[in-house]
Amino acid sequence: MLWACILFPQLALDTVLRERDDPEAPLVLLGGPPQRRVLRAVNPAASALGLRAGQALTAARALADGFACVDVEPARIEQLQQLLAAWAYRFSAQVSLHYPRALLLEVGSSLQLFGPWPSFEARLREELAALGLRQRIVLASNPVAARMLANGHDGLALNCPQATRDALLDMPVERVGLPSEAAEAFARMGLRRLGQVLALPRDALARRFSAQVQLHLDQLLGLRSLGLDFYQPPDRFEARLELNFDVESHQALLFPLRRLIHDLAAFLAGRDCGVQRFELHLEHAEGADTVLKVGLLAGERDASLLFELARGRLEPLRIPAPVRNLRLLAADLPPFVPQHQALFDPRAQQAQPWDQLRERLRARLGDDAVKGLRAEADHRPECAWQGVEQGGQGHLVMAPGRRPGWLLPVPQVLAETGLQLLGQAERIESGWWDGGDVRRDYYRIETRDGLRGWAFRDLAAPGPLWLQGWFA
């Protein structure tokens, strides 16, 4: 078994930065009681202003101004960790959040599928960068060693227990996760490296230090295993994004929306499912949320497609009040079935599959805008066709040229001057069984301009000719 540890060295800061569209602007994270606010983390731009983590806010204000302050929110960090676990679940069945701010993945069994470790690692880094997170990745032969080596290394890949042990021997004692009093005691004894500690006789160590120390050292070397509880993906997706200021325009909503949808896509890929319906709640300072429902005909999980669909529905929406928060809910998660494509497709340069095109049209024009036609076995013109999702052939065979190609939505009264009736009348008398009884004599007519139409005289209410279609 091989374990990868992905450590997020500044998860709290990245949680905030990834949701802002100006990550280069100076920003600090605040913590501590209200009487004494302390800077918890600063981004590089703030660091250039002379701000450091650990400073009091009053001191920071004296040093510089023009930096944004954001409160640390443990709930949001926890939410992001859950999302990261969902993301990692697509790469490995054994994902653990045992250590804070770090993901543990068993990757030994995933290498068959995701390729040799260097390309696998590159892919992990690329996707994490797309999620807006800084990361350190270490591969080792057991999870505890991977986590502790990540304290001092980035990009280290150790395939066997011996190499792991060699790398551990060089680690400083205070950085391998020993209890703090034990680490301090070792340092006072002059033992700086873990190798020096491990060279000591085992029974002497056991006598001087608590059992916890020996257990941890054994787990580091893989002599004893650590009980990990593995991540189980939830059945629904819910994410909430606080905008921290009132947003009144659609444009300003698009960036956070894109971030939410990318998170959703990462979650879906991890669970190998698509989304068929999701809801976007626009929360206002007061009053009920504005709910935007996005429905698809088939499960999809492509981030750009989902974003475009959501955007298509968001843009025509009238929002009654400024938006405070965005929340995305997806409960209907059917299995994802990729589009079937033949190798020798007759239309070789099919850039966009029909399903995607249909969703795009529906997103902008309305749910019922795209439809097929089905011919029905009925002689009444109004009932002889139906707009349905998937068109189909009818069973009533009609000779070509007997019926007009275009039908008027409602029959129109036709002035009879200059009209020429062609041929005999055709009587259509049908529908007594469903209440839509018609008794009509249909004529083919030709107007003065030469247009050929289809008109009827109603036998139930004698009167003018009614035009119902054109032989186009």
Partner 1 sequence: MGAVVELDRLLDQRQVWRGRQAQARPQGLQPTGHAALDGRLPEGGWPAASLSELLLASPGCGELQLLWPTLARLSGEGQRVVLVAPPFIPYAPAWQAAGVDLRWLVQVDAEAGDALWAAEQCLRSGSCAAVLCWPERADDRALRRLQVAAETGNALAFACRPRQAALNPSPAALRIALDLRPAQWRVLKCRGGLPPAAPIACPGQG
Residues that bind partner 1 (CB under 8 A): 346-347, 349-354, 356-357, 360-361, 364-366, 368-376, 381, 384-387, 390-394, 396-409, 449-453, 469-472
Of 126 and 368, CB closest to partner 1: 368
Residue 329, token pair as written in the block: 């809910």
Q: Residue 101: left (phi > 0), alpha (psi -120 to 50), or beta?
A: left
How far is it, in rounded angstroms, from Cα 399 to Cα 182?
A: 95
- Cβ-contact 257, 239 below 8 angstroms: no
CB-count burial class (<10 Å; 0-12, 13-18, 19+) for 7: buried
How far is it, in rounded angstroms, from Cα 198 to Cα 389?
A: 71
Q: Minimum CB separation from partner 1 for residue 334, in Å?
A: 22
How far is it, in rounded angstroms, from Cα 370 to Cα 339?
A: 20
What are residue 253's phi and psi, to 5 degrees? -85, -20
Of 217 and 465, CB closest to partner 1: 465
Q: Minimum CB separation from partner 1 for residue 450, in Å?
A: 3
Q: Minimum CB separation from partner 1 for residue 57, in Å?
A: 52
Of 33 and 418, CB closest to partner 1: 418
Q: Minimum CB separation from partner 1 for residue 454, in Å?
A: 9
Q: Minimum CB separation from partner 1 for residue 366, in Å?
A: 8
Of 196 and 447, CB closest to partner 1: 447
Q: Minimum CB separation from partner 1 for residue 364, in Å?
A: 7
Residue 331, token pair as written in the block: 């409960």
Of 259 and 440, CB closest to partner 1: 440
SS3 letters across 31-100: ECCCCCCEEEEECHHHHHCCCCCCCEHHHHHHHCCCCEEEECCHHHHHHHHHHHHHHHCCCCCCEECCCC
- 10 Å Cβ neighbour count for 269? 20
Of 33 and 400, CB closest to partner 1: 400
Q: Which amino acid is at 402?
A: R
User: If you search the block for the tokens 């590159």, which residue do you land on?
Assistant: 122
Of 320 and 346, CB closest to partner 1: 346
DSSP H/E element including 267:
helix 250-271
Of 25 and 408, CB closest to partner 1: 408
Q: Minimum CB separation from partner 1 for residue 350, in Å?
A: 5
Q: Minimum CB separation from partner 1 for residue 371, in Å?
A: 6
Widest distance between CA atoms in the chain: 118
